[in-house]
Amino acid sequence: ASQHRLWPEIENVVKSQVNMAKMGIGECGAGWQLFAEDGEMKMYRREEEVDGMVCDPLKAVHVVKGISGHEVCHYFFNPQYRYDWESTLEHMTVLETISEDTLVFLQTHKRIWPASQREGLFWSHIRKLPNEKDRDGPDIWTVVNNSTEYSEHPANNGKCVRIFLTVCLLCQTTVDPPKDGTTLTRDNLSCKITYCSVVNPGGWAPASVLRAVYKREYPKFLKRFTAYVKNQTKNKPIMF
Ligand SMILES: CCCCCc1ccc(-c2ccc(S(=O)(=O)CCO)cc2)cc1/C=C\c1ccccn1
Protein backbone atom coordinates (compact mmCIF):
# COMPACT_ATOMS: atom_id res chain seq x y z
CA ALA A 1 0.00 0.00 0.00
CA SER A 2 2.99 2.30 0.52
CA GLN A 3 3.12 2.97 -3.26
CA HIS A 4 -0.60 3.81 -3.58
CA ARG A 5 -1.38 7.41 -4.68
CA LEU A 6 -3.28 8.02 -1.41
CA TRP A 7 -0.49 6.76 0.83
CA PRO A 8 1.21 10.13 1.57
CA GLU A 9 -2.16 11.70 2.45
CA ILE A 10 -3.11 8.71 4.63
CA GLU A 11 0.19 8.94 6.53
CA ASN A 12 -0.22 12.69 7.13
CA VAL A 13 -3.89 12.63 8.11
CA VAL A 14 -3.46 9.63 10.44
CA LYS A 15 -0.53 11.26 12.25
CA SER A 16 -2.27 14.61 12.71
CA GLN A 17 -5.61 13.08 13.70
CA VAL A 18 -3.99 10.76 16.28
CA ASN A 19 -2.08 13.68 17.81
CA MET A 20 -5.29 15.72 18.07
CA ALA A 21 -7.25 12.79 19.53
CA LYS A 22 -4.56 12.24 22.19
CA MET A 23 -4.92 15.82 23.45
CA GLY A 24 -7.32 16.37 26.33
CA ILE A 25 -10.30 18.64 25.78
CA GLY A 26 -8.47 21.40 27.67
CA GLU A 27 -5.50 21.28 25.28
CA CYS A 28 -7.69 21.30 22.17
CA GLY A 29 -8.19 25.03 22.28
CA ALA A 30 -11.07 27.09 23.62
CA GLY A 31 -14.71 26.92 22.79
CA TRP A 32 -15.51 23.27 23.47
CA GLN A 33 -18.92 22.82 25.04
CA LEU A 34 -20.16 19.63 26.66
CA PHE A 35 -23.40 18.87 24.79
CA ALA A 36 -24.17 15.31 25.83
CA GLU A 37 -23.30 13.11 28.78
CA ASP A 38 -24.34 9.54 29.57
CA GLY A 39 -22.48 7.66 32.31
CA GLU A 40 -18.83 7.46 31.21
CA MET A 41 -19.56 9.04 27.81
CA LYS A 42 -18.95 12.77 27.40
CA MET A 43 -19.53 14.56 24.07
CA TYR A 44 -18.14 17.97 23.24
CA ARG A 45 -18.60 20.18 20.21
CA ARG A 46 -17.31 23.53 19.02
CA GLU A 47 -19.65 25.70 16.99
CA GLU A 48 -17.98 26.44 13.65
CA GLU A 49 -19.39 27.50 10.28
CA VAL A 50 -17.67 27.28 6.89
CA ASP A 51 -19.32 29.35 4.13
CA GLY A 52 -22.38 29.63 6.32
CA MET A 53 -22.59 25.86 6.81
CA VAL A 54 -22.39 24.18 10.22
CA CYS A 55 -19.13 22.18 10.46
CA ASP A 56 -18.98 21.72 14.22
CA PRO A 57 -15.96 19.66 15.29
CA LEU A 58 -17.03 16.92 17.69
CA LYS A 59 -14.98 15.11 20.32
CA ALA A 60 -16.37 12.28 22.41
CA VAL A 61 -14.60 10.43 25.18
CA HIS A 62 -15.97 7.18 26.60
CA VAL A 63 -14.66 4.40 28.86
CA VAL A 64 -16.11 0.95 28.25
CA LYS A 65 -15.39 -2.09 30.40
CA GLY A 66 -14.79 -5.60 29.07
CA ILE A 67 -13.48 -4.82 25.57
CA SER A 68 -10.06 -3.96 24.08
CA GLY A 69 -9.04 -1.17 21.73
CA HIS A 70 -8.22 -3.70 19.03
CA GLU A 71 -11.75 -5.13 19.26
CA VAL A 72 -13.35 -1.66 19.09
CA CYS A 73 -11.34 -0.75 15.98
CA HIS A 74 -11.89 -4.17 14.39
CA TYR A 75 -15.71 -3.83 14.50
CA PHE A 76 -15.58 -0.17 13.48
CA PHE A 77 -13.29 -0.72 10.47
CA ASN A 78 -14.55 -3.96 8.94
CA PRO A 79 -17.42 -3.46 6.46
CA GLN A 80 -19.14 -6.77 7.24
CA TYR A 81 -20.37 -5.49 10.63
CA ARG A 82 -21.36 -1.95 9.64
CA TYR A 83 -25.05 -2.51 8.92
CA ASP A 84 -25.36 -4.11 12.37
CA TRP A 85 -24.46 -0.94 14.31
CA GLU A 86 -24.69 2.08 11.96
CA SER A 87 -28.42 2.83 12.20
CA THR A 88 -28.43 5.80 9.79
CA LEU A 89 -26.66 3.84 7.03
CA GLU A 90 -28.77 3.20 3.93
CA HIS A 91 -26.16 1.71 1.55
CA MET A 92 -22.45 0.95 1.73
CA THR A 93 -19.97 -0.37 -0.83
CA VAL A 94 -16.22 -0.87 -0.72
CA LEU A 95 -14.92 0.86 -3.85
CA GLU A 96 -11.32 -0.23 -3.39
CA THR A 97 -9.28 -2.47 -1.13
CA ILE A 98 -5.96 -0.60 -1.08
CA SER A 99 -4.56 -3.08 1.45
CA GLU A 100 -5.93 -5.23 4.27
CA ASP A 101 -5.75 -2.19 6.59
CA THR A 102 -6.96 0.44 4.07
CA LEU A 103 -10.34 0.49 2.29
CA VAL A 104 -12.28 3.08 0.30
CA PHE A 105 -16.02 3.29 1.16
CA LEU A 106 -18.96 4.86 -0.62
CA GLN A 107 -21.97 5.05 1.69
CA THR A 108 -25.33 6.78 1.72
CA HIS A 109 -27.11 7.76 4.93
CA LYS A 110 -30.85 7.72 5.36
CA ARG A 111 -32.42 11.04 4.43
CA ILE A 112 -33.10 13.26 7.41
CA TRP A 113 -36.05 15.58 6.78
CA PRO A 114 -36.04 18.41 5.71
CA ALA A 115 -32.43 18.13 4.41
CA SER A 116 -31.60 16.19 1.24
CA GLN A 117 -29.97 12.75 1.48
CA ARG A 118 -26.22 12.61 2.11
CA GLU A 119 -23.45 10.31 0.89
CA GLY A 120 -19.83 9.95 1.94
CA LEU A 121 -16.83 8.70 -0.05
CA PHE A 122 -13.81 8.17 2.18
CA TRP A 123 -10.71 6.09 2.74
CA SER A 124 -10.56 4.19 6.02
CA HIS A 125 -7.32 3.04 7.65
CA ILE A 126 -6.81 0.90 10.75
CA ARG A 127 -3.51 1.01 12.60
CA LYS A 128 -1.84 -0.23 15.79
CA LEU A 129 0.36 2.34 17.53
CA PRO A 130 3.00 1.73 20.20
CA ASN A 131 1.95 2.61 23.75
CA GLU A 132 4.40 5.47 24.49
CA LYS A 133 3.33 5.81 28.12
CA ASP A 134 3.87 2.17 28.99
CA ARG A 135 6.15 0.14 26.70
CA ASP A 136 4.93 -3.17 28.16
CA GLY A 137 1.30 -2.02 28.10
CA PRO A 138 -1.28 -2.88 25.43
CA ASP A 139 -0.99 -1.07 22.09
CA ILE A 140 -3.12 1.86 21.04
CA TRP A 141 -5.46 1.18 18.10
CA THR A 142 -6.98 3.72 15.75
CA VAL A 143 -9.24 3.96 12.70
CA VAL A 144 -9.14 7.14 10.61
CA ASN A 145 -11.77 7.91 7.95
CA ASN A 146 -11.14 10.79 5.55
CA SER A 147 -13.13 11.94 2.52
CA THR A 148 -11.45 11.54 -0.85
CA GLU A 149 -12.30 12.08 -4.53
CA TYR A 150 -12.96 9.28 -7.03
CA SER A 151 -13.26 10.04 -10.74
CA GLU A 152 -15.73 7.14 -11.21
CA HIS A 153 -17.97 8.66 -8.49
CA PRO A 154 -18.06 12.44 -8.94
CA ALA A 155 -19.64 14.39 -6.09
CA ASN A 156 -23.26 15.53 -6.36
CA ASN A 157 -23.98 13.93 -9.73
CA GLY A 158 -26.92 11.96 -8.34
CA LYS A 159 -29.66 12.66 -5.83
CA CYS A 160 -27.31 12.66 -2.82
CA VAL A 161 -25.33 15.60 -1.48
CA ARG A 162 -21.68 14.58 -0.93
CA ILE A 163 -20.47 15.27 2.63
CA PHE A 164 -16.83 15.80 3.56
CA LEU A 165 -15.67 14.16 6.76
CA THR A 166 -12.60 13.42 8.85
CA VAL A 167 -13.14 10.92 11.65
CA CYS A 168 -10.65 9.49 14.13
CA LEU A 169 -11.46 6.66 16.55
CA LEU A 170 -8.58 6.26 19.03
CA CYS A 171 -8.65 3.41 21.58
CA GLN A 172 -6.40 2.93 24.61
CA THR A 173 -6.75 -0.38 26.47
CA THR A 174 -6.19 -0.68 30.23
CA VAL A 175 -5.50 -4.08 31.82
CA ASP A 176 -6.00 -4.32 35.57
CA PRO A 177 -4.57 -7.82 36.29
CA PRO A 178 -6.39 -9.97 38.87
CA LYS A 179 -4.72 -9.72 42.33
CA ASP A 180 -4.53 -13.50 42.88
CA GLY A 181 -2.58 -14.05 39.64
CA THR A 182 -5.44 -16.00 38.02
CA THR A 183 -5.98 -15.78 34.25
CA LEU A 184 -7.07 -12.46 32.82
CA THR A 185 -10.78 -12.09 32.08
CA ARG A 186 -12.84 -9.33 30.48
CA ASP A 187 -13.53 -8.02 33.98
CA ASN A 188 -9.89 -6.91 34.10
CA LEU A 189 -10.18 -5.00 30.83
CA SER A 190 -11.35 -1.51 29.92
CA CYS A 191 -10.99 0.71 26.90
CA LYS A 192 -10.78 4.50 26.72
CA ILE A 193 -12.37 5.55 23.42
CA THR A 194 -11.83 8.97 21.86
CA TYR A 195 -14.01 9.72 18.82
CA CYS A 196 -13.25 12.91 16.89
CA SER A 197 -15.15 14.02 13.82
CA VAL A 198 -15.53 17.04 11.57
CA VAL A 199 -18.35 16.74 9.04
CA ASN A 200 -19.02 19.30 6.34
CA PRO A 201 -22.59 18.55 5.23
CA GLY A 202 -21.72 19.42 1.61
CA GLY A 203 -24.81 21.28 0.51
CA TRP A 204 -26.60 23.83 2.67
CA ALA A 205 -28.79 22.54 5.54
CA PRO A 206 -30.38 24.66 8.27
CA ALA A 207 -27.99 25.06 11.21
CA SER A 208 -30.81 24.21 13.61
CA VAL A 209 -31.54 20.96 11.75
CA LEU A 210 -27.87 19.91 11.60
CA ARG A 211 -27.22 20.63 15.26
CA ALA A 212 -30.42 18.80 16.24
CA VAL A 213 -29.38 15.78 14.12
CA TYR A 214 -25.93 15.66 15.70
CA LYS A 215 -27.25 16.14 19.22
CA ARG A 216 -29.68 13.25 18.71
CA GLU A 217 -27.60 10.93 16.53
CA TYR A 218 -24.06 11.05 17.89
CA PRO A 219 -24.78 9.90 21.46
CA LYS A 220 -27.06 7.17 20.04
CA PHE A 221 -24.35 6.15 17.55
CA LEU A 222 -21.55 5.78 20.10
CA LYS A 223 -23.73 4.00 22.67
CA ARG A 224 -25.13 1.61 20.05
CA PHE A 225 -21.70 0.89 18.58
CA THR A 226 -19.98 0.18 21.92
CA ALA A 227 -22.91 -1.99 23.09
CA TYR A 228 -22.57 -3.91 19.81
CA VAL A 229 -18.84 -4.56 20.40
CA LYS A 230 -19.50 -5.74 23.98
CA ASN A 231 -22.17 -8.10 22.75
CA GLN A 232 -20.08 -9.45 19.86
CA THR A 233 -17.03 -10.11 22.05
CA LYS A 234 -18.52 -11.25 25.38
CA ASN A 235 -18.03 -14.98 24.74
CA LYS A 236 -14.89 -14.71 22.60
CA PRO A 237 -11.21 -14.71 23.59
CA ILE A 238 -9.82 -11.17 24.08
CA MET A 239 -8.26 -9.61 20.95
CA PHE A 240 -5.29 -7.49 22.11
C1 LIG B 1 -28.92 16.75 7.41
C2 LIG B 1 -28.04 15.64 7.92
C3 LIG B 1 -26.60 15.84 7.53
C4 LIG B 1 -25.68 14.90 8.31
C5 LIG B 1 -25.76 13.53 7.66
C6 LIG B 1 -24.65 12.64 8.17
C7 LIG B 1 -23.34 12.97 7.91
C8 LIG B 1 -22.32 12.12 8.33
C9 LIG B 1 -22.60 10.96 9.01
C10 LIG B 1 -21.51 10.04 9.44
C11 LIG B 1 -21.46 9.55 10.74
C12 LIG B 1 -20.43 8.70 11.12
C13 LIG B 1 -19.46 8.32 10.22
S14 LIG B 1 -18.17 7.26 10.70
O15 LIG B 1 -17.91 7.53 12.11
O16 LIG B 1 -17.07 7.46 9.80
C17 LIG B 1 -18.69 5.59 10.59
C18 LIG B 1 -18.89 5.14 9.20
O19 LIG B 1 -20.22 5.31 8.85
C20 LIG B 1 -19.52 8.79 8.93
C21 LIG B 1 -20.55 9.64 8.54
C22 LIG B 1 -23.91 10.64 9.28
C23 LIG B 1 -24.93 11.50 8.89
C24 LIG B 1 -26.31 11.20 9.19
C25 LIG B 1 -26.72 10.88 10.45
C26 LIG B 1 -25.80 10.74 11.57
C27 LIG B 1 -25.22 11.85 12.12
C28 LIG B 1 -24.42 11.68 13.23
C29 LIG B 1 -24.19 10.41 13.71
C30 LIG B 1 -24.80 9.34 13.09
N31 LIG B 1 -25.58 9.51 12.03
- Decide: 52 and 204 in contact? Cβ < 8 Å: yes
pLDDT band at 1 (very low <50, low <70, confident <90, very high): low
Q: How far away, in angstroms, is 125 Cα from ligand 1 center?
A: 18
How many residues comprise the chain? Answer: 240
ipTM tops the 0.90 cut: yes
Q: How far away, in angstroms, is 201 Cα from ligand 1 center?
A: 9
- Decide: 51 and 201 in contact? Cβ < 8 Å: no
- Please tell me the residue having the least CA distance from ligand 1 atom 8: 199
Of 13, 9, 18, 16, which is closest to residue 170 (Cα–Cα)?
18
- Decide: 44 and 59 in contact? Cβ < 8 Å: yes
Burial class of 21 by CB neighbour count within 10 A (0 to 12, 13 to 18, 19+): buried
Q: What is the pLDDT of residue 29?
A: 86
Largest CA distance in the chain: 62
- Decide: 84 and 228 in contact? Cβ < 8 Å: yes
Q: Which atom of ligand 1 lies nearest, measured to the CA of 169? A: 15
Taking the whole predicted model, whether its pTM rises above 0.95 is answered as yes
Q: What is the pLDDT of residue 2?
A: 73
CA dist 18 and 74 (Å) reads 17
Ligand 1 pocket member 202 (CB < 6 A)? no
